[in-house]
Amino acid sequence: NAGVTQTPKFRILKIGQSMTLQCAQDMNHNYMYWYRQDPGMGLKLIYYSVGAGITDKGEVPNGYNVSRSTTEDFPLRLELAAPSQTSVYFCASSYSPGQGKETQYFGPGTRLLVL
């Protein structure tokens, strides 16, 4: 298994540009998550999905959109990039919470710089 994969690894955007961060998992997990990590800080949940076709907002959803058309893929879209979105973005996946197998597995991250 490749686990959780993310692309690109690094990207520089100009203010106002848009981009999509890709995330895929091959563990047949129904839950997927997007987090951002700012320097010296913990992980903040942006959006999550409990299954294909179902998404919900996390703690910091403003400025982002997601979709979940398949179990495997969970892309994150930035429509109008702002400097405040400079961060490291992590995608994660897990089984359903409460089944004793709810630990989240993380991808390697996408480093985004908005100038």
Catalog residues that contact another protein under the rule CB under 8 A.
4, 35, 40-43, 45, 59, 90, 92, 97-98, 100, 102-109
d(CA 78, CA 83): 12
Minimum Å gap between C-beta 43 and another protein is 4
Q: Where are the beta strands (DSSP E) in the chain?
A: 4-7, 10-13, 19-25, 31-37, 43-51, 54-57, 64-66, 76-78, 87-94, 105-106, 110-114
Which one, 83 or 97, has the nearer CB to another protein?
Answer: 97
Minimum Å gap between C-beta 16 and another protein is 28
Minimum Å gap between C-beta 35 and another protein is 8
